[in-house]
Structure 1
Amino acid sequence: MHPRRIVFVVYDGFQALDLAGPYEVFQQAAWHVNGHYTCEIVGPAAGRVHADSALPMHAEHGVRTLDPRGVDTLVVTGGVGVFDARRDPALTGWIRAAGAGARRVASVCTGSFLLAAAGLIDGRRVTTHWAHAGRLADEHPSVTVDSDPIFVSDERVWSSAGVTAGMDLSLALVEDDLGRDVALTVARNLVLFLRRPGGQSQFSVALWSGQPSTDPIRAAVAAIHADPGARHEVKDLAEHARLSPRHLQRRFTAELGLPPGAYVERVRVEAAQRALAESDAPVEVIARRCGFGTAETLRRAFHRRVGVSPSDYRERFGRMPAAEPPAPVRR
């Protein structure tokens, strides 16, 4: 069997992590499965290309010389330069031709704008960086834009949210090809999270826990992550798993390495971390939404799990005020 060709599209002003993260995921998988993948980089022209941070990288191929046929998975990177890149007819034409014949087409972050310019996501459901989701929806009304998930798959079209979410997407593609064990091995080697099967919104099964190995416990875990703020007492989880509470408690702890209550608290803390970083909602509101009931309960859990208060966490990691993106670096 020939290796599957993974071809990454870059351009001046692309986001370096949109390339480097997914590239490493596929290369790690190739090392584990005897060269199952080969990775190539194509740009408007072969040679040096600069990321939006001015980091210089090298495109092996240019679109005028690389045959668009024979691509297994096409991955289009995002970045502030995407809005200029999508006006390059040679680049969008090559993406259109390669994407038409590829088994899968994927975008990372604002790479979705290039897929849209190439006509590859009309009528599809996609995601993109949350800050640009409204613009993508406005400019391409035939595309269903969902700004919430880390990544989305719609038949052969895959898309991810911003920057590091491209690694979540790549792990999902590896799992789709080679199975959960290989994807988990890659995730562990790269100290990443492994996503939950089913692709629910904003969810990763963390490496701090074991992995559920039976369907009843998977169902309980899925219920926790689908809505961290819901009631998740042992009896509630037992109903999802269709087990007795005592049986659920024993099997959950055996499969995941910690009891249900501790698992629920950790997932809720992670949900609160995301809410604190990504929204301006008051701590009291976040506490209720994430299942803690009161701000004081959230504070105690945060100190226990994160080592700082929720307000300190927001101050360090909360989103910055919106600003005009820098112009892509040209050389």
Structure 2
Amino acid sequence: MHSIGLVVYPGFQTMGLAVASVFEYANLLRGERVYQFRLVSEDGGPVMTSQSFSVNTDRLRDATYDTLIVAGDNDCRLPPASLLDYLREAPDHSRRVAAICTGTFVLAAAGLLDGRRATTHWFHAQAFRKQYPGVQLDEDRIFVVDGPIWTSAGMTAGVDLALAIVEKDFGLATARNVARKLVLHQRRGGGQSQFSALLELDAKSDRVQLALAHATEHLGGDLSVEVLADVARLSPRQFSRVFREETGQSPAKAVERLRVEAARLLMETTRHPIEVIARETGFGDRERMRQAFLRAFGQPPQAIQRTSGVAEPLL
């Protein structure tokens, strides 16, 4: 059995508790208790959350854990020095040490991230870089795994990190089944951006939302202004004007962003060749996709594919 300890301290962000459901459903779907999950704190007993209710915890030093996950808080406050001292030695008795959101600040303060790659909530990335210049921070990642140290971005990214732990322990099929049970729209890979192109477009009218929904469902097809305008039941000229007013960009630019996001996700979760991904996401050929990636990320697709953690693509 794998023992998981979620380390909390006064004022921790309640979203961190969501990881418990990932391990709960891994147990249910496998038909046995493969994970033992515990809330732990330095002294045990009640610990106040960020929403002013308490949760009961076990004393951290009363047991050892295969995996320790440190919760974050809303203000990047550090726990007592005595807890940092304990975490500093955690890799000696835990196979994995992880952090959710601003819990990355805690691991950094304990010295566990020196010279390592890590991520945290994008909102706190600049402050993190200033405080811990010796850490290779990649704020545009859902989660990062560097040896035995795992870190995730903010809020719901903790669930993605927990699913990745399940995948590491019991395989992709189990992780996918847990994600389905939790009714997740998609299981995000660690290399996926913290930002969603569709969310940032933030269309307000039903007509533009309908056109964007059509685009996301038909990325491999014709998404010209004429086609999208027809879906929105507007003339191409009217559609282009309304679209730019609501999103701040042209329909062509928005479609490119959606395609780039979809292509990057495929690179991080499949072993498809770049030519196949370019075709499936509507770029048509690898050179058009390469140019779009350079505009979006400053890197070609091959560079992102190499750092995604997915095995070499099938030929």
TM-score, normalised via structure 2 length: 0.62
Residue 46 (structure 1) aligned to one of 44, 47, 51: 44
Q: Which amino acid aligns with 1:72?
A: D
Which of 44, 55, 58 is matched with 1:57 structurally? Answer: 55
Cα separation, 1, equivalents of 2:3 and 2:179: 21
Name the CA distance, whole Å, in 2 between partners of 1:150 and 1:286.
28
Structure 2 letter corresponding to 1:129 = H
2:114 matches 1:126: no
8 Å CA contact 1:195, 1:203 repeated in 2: no
How far apart, CA to CA, are the structure 2 residues paired with 1:260 and 1:123? 41
Residue of structure 2 equivalent to 1:284: 248
The answer to whether the Cα contact below 8 Å between 2:142 and 2:188 also exists between their aligned partners in 1 is no
Q: Deviations over 1:171-205 (max 9, x none)?
A: 1111111111111111111111443556333489x
What is the letter of the counterpart of residue 37 of structure 1? Answer: Y
Residues 291, 104 of structure 1: alpha-carbon distance in 2 compared, 3 angstrom cutoff: same
Distance of aligned partners of 1:12 and 1:82 in 2 relative to their CA distance in 1, 3 Å threshold: farther
2:217 and 2:52 mapped to 1: Cα distance? 44
Distance in 2 between the 1:107 and 1:75 partners? 5
- Number of residue pairs matched by the alignment: 219
Per the TM alignment, residue 155 of structure 1 is displaced from its structure 2 partner at its CA by: 2.1
Partner residue in 2 for 1:315: none
Cα 1:182–1:9 change in 2 (3 A) is same
In structure 1, distance between residues paired with 2:66 and 2:34: 11
1:26 matched to 2:23 = yes
Do structure 1's residue 163 and structure 2's residue 155 form an aligned pair? yes
**Structure 1, unpaired ranges of 5+:** 205-224, 226-258, 269-280, 294-331
Residue from 49, 74, 80 that aligns with 1:80: 74
Q: Partners in 2 of 1:83 and 1:261 — Cα distance?
A: 40
Contact 2:41–2:57, Cα closer than 8 Å, also in 1:
yes
Query: Whole-Å Cα distance in 2 between the matches of residues 52 and 137 of structure 1?
Result: 25
2:108 is the counterpart of 1:144: no
Structure 1 CA distance for aligned equivalents of residues 76 and 42 of structure 2: 12
* Alpha-carbon distance in structure 1 between the residues aligned to 2:218 and 2:167: 24
Q: Relative to 1, partners in 2 of residues 1:96 and 1:286: Cα closer, same or farther, differing over 3 Å?
A: farther
Counterpart check, 1:262 vs 2:217: yes
The residue aligned with 2:311 is none
Equivalent residue of 2:219, what SS? helix
Please give the TM-score of this superposition, normalised by the length of structure 1.
0.59
Match of 1:9 in 2: 7
Matches within 5 A, 1:133-212: 133-195=125-187, 199-202=191-194
Deviation at 1:162, TM superposition (A): 0.8
Alpha carbons 1:183, 1:194 under 8 Å: kept: no
Give the counterpart letter for 1:262 in structure 2: E
Q: Secondary structure at the match of 1:191?
A: coil
Distance change >3 Å, CA 107–CA 40, structure 1 → 2: same
C-alpha distance in 2 between matches for 1:49 and 1:83? 15
Answer yes or no: is the 8 Å Cα contact 2:144–2:190 preserved in 1: no
Q: Which runs of 5+ in 2 are unaligned?
A: 199-213, 224-244, 258-315
Seen in structure 2, the aligned counterparts of structure 1 residues 193 and 126 have a Cα distance that, compared at 3 Å, is farther
Aligned partners of 2:42, 2:58: CA distance in 1, in Å? 11
The 2-side partners of 1:80 and 1:196 are apart by 23
Q: Is residue 142–residue 190 contact of structure 2 (8 Å, CA) maintained in 1?
A: no
Shift, 1:286, TM fit: 6.9
Higher relative contact order (CA 8 A, sep 6+): 1
Corresponding position: 1:110 with 2:102 = yes
Question: 1:66 and 2:21 equivalent?
Answer: no
- How many Å separate the matches in 1 of 2:220 and 2:5? 41
Letter in 2 for 1:122: D
The 3-state SS of whatever aligns with 1:48 is strand
Provide the rounded CA distance (Å) in 2 between the counterparts of 1:191 and 1:181. 15
Partner-residue secondary structure (3-state), 1:188: helix
Shift in alpha-carbon separation, 1:128–1:198, aligned structure 2, 3 A = closer
Once the two structures are superposed, the pairs formed by residues 210-225 of structure 1 within 5 Å of their partners are: none
CA separation of 1:143 and 1:46: change in aligned 2, threshold 3 A: same
CA distance in 1 between partners of 2:190 and 2:74 (Å): 30
